[in-house]
Amino acid sequence: MLSLTLSDISVSYPGLATPALEIDRLAIPAGAHVAITGASGSGKSTFVNIVTGLERARQGRIDWSGTDIAKFSESRRDRWRAEDVGLIMQDFHLFPGLSALENVLLPARLSGAASAEIIGRGHDLLKRTGLQRPQQRIETMSRGEMQRVAVARALLRKPGVIIADEPTASLDVESGEAVGSLLLELAGQEESTLIVVSHDTRLTDRLSRKVTFNMGRIVSDTGRMERAA
């Protein structure tokens, strides 16, 4: 379980008048389930890129349980992300030609981390996501099933935090609901911190805290209000 503390974050892109993301301070305690919402272009994906180390923060601190990944080199961030972050993306990013299980194991295999234990866990996770056939080719699956494979993949190495960027945006309502439930359930079972970026209120309403972005800034945070009250 990881906690996150952001301070003095500011990300600007050339050609943009205001920063794409500007956060003075944001704290997410270990084990929290947090929704990040906001209109399109409000900086949500930029937030994900920064906190997962996909993009380099030029200023500020990104403190995960005492480790400031802003100071890490690119390779170091890659390694940290591989071990500690379970990432789920809107377009699944699964690889056709491989089976469900092979897709779950691929990143671990490429990192040389696919021990017998990890492979066993892959089987187990696929079962827990409700998929019966681990050998089924990924391209023959429905979109809802695909996203469940992606969830199993994200959880494979017992990450301290699960971060999902619009996990239901390319799914129909029913599959979206199922994937949302699965995420919440597994994050609880695995005792992972969960950050879900979404503007799907059916999903965000199920999380205990909601942080809303607008034009790169946090405009509301139910967690902070609760604490203030």
Partner 1 sequence: MIRFILADLRKYWLGSAVVVLIVALAVALGVAVTLQERALRLGSARAADKFDLVIGAAGSENQLVLSSVFLQASPLPLMDGRVLTQLASDPRVAWAAPIGFGDSFMGYPIVGTTTALVNNLADGLAEGKVFAREGEAVIGASVALKLGDQIKPMHGAAEEGGHTHAELAYRVAGRLKPTGTAWDRAVLVPIQAVWHIHGMGHHDEAEVERNHDAHGEAAEAHEHHAADPDATISETWDADVPGLPAILVKPKSIADAYKLRQQYRAGTTLAVFPAEVLTRLYATLGDAKRVLFAVATGSQGLVAASVLLVTVMHVGQRRRQIGALRALGAPRRALFSIVWLELFVLVAMGLAAGFALGYAAALAVSGMVASGSGVSIPVNFARDDIGFAVALLAFAALISSVPAVLAYRQSPASALRG
Ligand X SMILES: Nc1ncnc2c1ncn2[C@@H]1O[C@H](COP(=O)(O)OP(=O)(O)O)[C@@H](O)[C@H]1O
Judged by the rule CB under 6 A, the positions of this chain that interact with ligand X are 13, 16, 20, 38, 40-46
43 contacts which partner out of ligand X, partner 1, Mg ion, none, CB within 5 to 8 A by kind?
ligand X
Q: How far is the CB of 118 from partner 1 (least distance, A)?
A: 12
Q: Which two tokens stand for residue 30?
A: 């270990």
Between residue 33 and residue 72, which ones bind Mg ion under the rule CB under 5 A? 45
Choices 30-38, 95-103, 117-125, 216-224; region in contact with partner 1 by CB under 8 A? 95-103
C-alpha 149/C-alpha 98 separation (Å) is 12
Applying CB under 8 A, among 73, 75, 132, 135 the residue interacting with partner 1 is: 75
Q: How far is the CB of 212 from partner 1 (least distance, A)?
A: 19
Q: Is 79 in the site for partner 1 (CB under 8 A)?
A: yes
Q: Which is nearer to ligand X, 21 or 94 (CB)?
A: 21
Q: Is the dihedral of CA 16, 18, 24, 25 positive or negative?
A: negative
Q: Is 190 in the site for partner 1 (CB under 8 A)?
A: no
- CB-facing half-sphere around the CA of 80: CA atoms within 13 A: 21
Quick check: 25 and 66 in contact, CB under 8 A?
no
Phi, psi values for residue 89, rounded to 5°: -115, 160
C-alpha 175/C-alpha 170 separation (Å) is 10
C-alpha 85/C-alpha 195 separation (Å) is 11
C-alpha 57/C-alpha 51 separation (Å) is 9
Residues of this chain that interact with Mg ion (CB under 5 A) are 45
Residues of this chain that interact with partner 1 (CB under 8 A) are 45, 48-49, 52, 54-55, 74-75, 78-79, 81-83, 85, 87, 89-91, 93, 95-98, 102, 106-111, 153, 157, 165
